[in-house]
Amino acid sequence: MCDTLVCLPSVTKHGRMIFAKNSDRSPNEPHIVERIPAQDHDLEQEPEVQATYIKVKQVPHTYAVTLFKPSWIWGAEMGFNEYGVNIGNEAVFTKVKRGKDALIGMDLIRLALERSKTAYEAMICITKLLAEYGQGGNCGYQKRFYYDNSYLIADGKEAYVLETAGKYWVAKEVKDYYAISNALTIDNDFDYAHPEILVEKMNDPNFSFRKKFSEPVFTYFAKAKKRRTCSLDIIQAHLGEITIETIMNILRSHQVTDNKASVGSVCMHAGGPIGDHTTGSYIYEYREDTDICLFTGASLPCTSMYKLLLKDYVENEPTGLGIPYWAKRELLLRYFISGQGDKTSFTKERDVLEQELLYDINNTSSIDGLKSLVVLYGNKEEELIDKYYQPLKHTEHQFSMGSSYYRKYWTKMTKRLVDDLNSMNKGL
């Protein structure tokens, strides 16, 4: 479960395109940030590259990419490359029967980012790989989970939505803004399509890709319509005035009160029989001098702080610690969920620090100045985390808030998380 959106310059306050996504996954799945530099490849020595389940043909050169990803997946839930191409995907549930292991949607994101200079190139790259290798494979962390994919793709000048069902696909260019969730959205208003879909549309003027391929039961219980409507309602209410703060409000929005699962919320909270957990969040704003990215590197944007990244790597930036970086923040979050941590005080301090960061970003004109903010606020956020985490780190989590099911859910998940971290020698 995820939510992805893009706002083109025509609807934002400062005339800058903004791209964003919440990644909703298993709450125990480590969400990490990985920077991979541009590389040349000797195709005689390295003719193929291993993706999550299969190998694909390598290319002579791959571009530098920044990936926001599950730790065990080769690909990524979302990310950008050195040319500013951004891609985020969504699980979509279709009537197409599951085939053998192939490329999963997250692999297709990474491959497209490594091989594309524009959003259009990325869209074409994904469709060509889909035709050659197909899509399929388990995407679940601690349970098996299979799905097809939709994508939002942007590059600062244009954006595309691409939706797939097995080998079939349709795509269209985005006008002004768009949001996708865990459901197909394109009927017959597409600009590009799989050849068989083009023929079907020619033969049937009422053809709808969404209606033909959507699997109704999973799509309904995923609450995709509710979450997408929430994103679009906020965007439409702020047309011409949309800023990073507007997008933060979308990514932090809820449909329920605390201590409940919320599959219908853009900021998704686990704790019920269905639904996932927002394990990571990011916002990318295209700027005249250098693009900026704000990311959580942690679960639940309603509680986590957005930190600064630039398109290019900055020494000592707060992303290179992988699972330990994520795990500390996740264990602190569990103290907030249990009621043992002072969430109210933490979020107040978080809000102040985040507003200071945004103020400094907007009042810093040089790239060197922005680089210093990456490190400065990365360190400040680490200090804030330690202030609330260190006094509790040796205390067993005791969940006392919410329903009986909710408490049992988080007790079970947290015990498993601690066991997993200890087995990886990542105990904190």
- pLDDT digit string, tens, across residues 172-189: 999 999 999 999 999 999
CATH code (residue 167): 3.60.60.10
Specify if 423 maps to a domain.
no
Specify if 197 maps to a domain.
yes
* Integer angstrom CA distances of residue 243 from 15, 218, 235, 248, 258: 10, 33, 10, 9, 27
Specify if 347 maps to a domain.
no
Strands (E), 307-395: 307-310
DSSP states of 102-164:
-B-HHHHHHHHHHH-SSHHHHHHHHHHHHHHH-B-----SSS----EEEEEEE-SS-EEEEEE
What's the full length of the chain, in residues? 428
Specify if 361 maps to a domain.
no
Structure tokens at 344: 């109210």
Structure tokens at 378: 């990365």
Specify if 409 maps to a domain.
no
Specify if 271 maps to a domain.
yes
- Per-residue confidence band for 428, with pLDDT thresholds at 50, 70 and 90: low
Specify if 331 maps to a domain.
no
| SS3 label, residue 88 | strand
- Choosing from 2, 7, 267, 293, the catalytic residue is 2
Tell me whether residue 67 is exposed, middle or buried, using C-beta atoms within 10 angstroms of its C-beta: 0 to 12, 13 to 18, 19 or more: buried
Q: What is the pLDDT of residue 261?
A: 87
Structure tokens at 17: 């395109």
Residues spanned by the domain of 37: 2-319
Q: Where are the alpha helices (DSSP H) in 194-321?
A: 195-203, 209-213, 216-221, 224-237, 244-251
Q: Is the model's pLDDT at 89 over the cut of 60? A: yes
Task: Give residue 397's identity as a one-letter amino acid code.
Answer: H
Nearest to 9 by CA among 179, 174, 225: 174
Across all residues in the chain, what is the average pLDDT? 95
Q: What is the pLDDT of residue 35?
A: 95
Structure tokens at 249: 């409000």
CA-based radius of gyration for the chain: 21
Number of domains within the chain: 1
Specify if 70 maps to a domain.
yes
Q: pLDDT tens digits, residue range 67-76?
A: 999 999 999 9
CA end-to-end span of the chain: 28
31-36/177-180 β-pairing: unpaired
Counts of helices then strands in the chain (DSSP H, E): 11, 18
The pTM for the full model equals 0.96
Clarify whether 293 is annotated catalytic.
no
* Integer angstrom CA distances of residue 407 from 52, 300, 303, 334, 403: 34, 18, 19, 11, 6
Q: What is the pLDDT of residue 414?
A: 97
- 8 A C-beta contact, residue 277 and residue 25: yes
C-alpha–C-alpha distance, residues 31 and 310, integer Å: 19
- 8 A C-beta contact, residue 420 and residue 29: no
Q: pLDDT tens digits, residue range 15-41?
A: 999 999 999 999 999 999 999 999 999
Q: pLDDT tens digits, residue range 261-302?
A: 888 999 999 998 887 999 999 999 999 989 999 999 999 999
